[in-house]
A and B are shown apart, each in its own frame.
Chain A
């Protein structure tokens, strides 16, 4: 049974041509986020009410800046992939959809890089 309608065949619109890459990336980032997000929640609980000096001390402890960096990279990659599907599902005006998809990608990269620079500043700055 073909699931394609006559109209679909006439318009010639087929798959998005990118196969399973998106699906796989979402799963791989999800796998990374299982231990990273558990570690993040644990860390956030230990940091409740902390001042900046205490935060800096925590960030300079072994593993903290590495795991925080990995967490924000996996987080924003996963966020970009998820929000992309939300836009694709609900925004049906082609121009708006493309604008939102581009903004989504650029914003995700901006937020990830901004977070990592902030982490470096706190850890190595004054």
Chain B
């Protein structure tokens, strides 16, 4: 069977990880992670609909260290997916497709997602008055 001159996938076990491939798979992983986070949002809204006690339980779960850890992860995932999604839109418009630009915007997205996460959490802790 002739397979012609088709492009081949990189051999993942021996292929050096690069910013481009790492961000590509992180985009998918954060997307799936945010789908799980969306389930928490639905639970949270339905707890509010059910009544004050149910909402209180949801809020205390989220305030627990494990709940905060999940929320922190989802905050970063959302900022990353948002920033990298905007990067994808520039590509769709035919902009920023040269490799040096792809690497530069990749690092920018990575750093921006971390900075925005810490800013949002600093603001959140500000709302609590530091508790």
Contacts and interface: CB of A to CB of B under 8 A. Distances in A.
Interface of A: 1-7, 27, 30-31, 33-34, 37-38, 41, 44-46, 48-53, 55-56, 72, 75-76, 79, 82-83, 86, 111, 114-115, 117-119, 121-122, 125
B26 interface: no
Interface residues of B, number: 39
A34 B88 CA distance: 13
Interface residues of B: mostly helix, strand, loop or mixed? helix
Contact of A114 (B31, B42, B63, B78): B42
Interface string B91-131: 01000000000000000000000000000100110011000
A76 B32 CA distance: 12
B52 A51 contact: yes
B70 interface: no
Contact of B92 (A27, A53, A115): A27
B89 interface: yes
A6 B4 CA distance: 9
Given A52-B51, A114-B46, A76 B38 contact: yes
A118 B128 contact: no
Contacts of B31: 79, 82-83, 86
B1 A55 contact: no
A41 B38 CA distance: 13
A115 B42 contact: yes
B63 A49 contact: yes
17 contacts: A2-B4, A5-B6, A27-B89, A33-B82, A37-B78, A41-B78, A41-B79, A51-B56, A52-B51, A52-B55, A83-B35, A86-B28, A111-B42, A114-B46, A118-B48, A122-B48, A125-B49
A115 B38 CA distance: 10
Contacts of A4: 4
Given A34-B85, A55-B48, A82-B31, 5 more contacts: A6-B2, A52-B51, A55-B55, A72-B41, A111-B42
B34 interface: yes
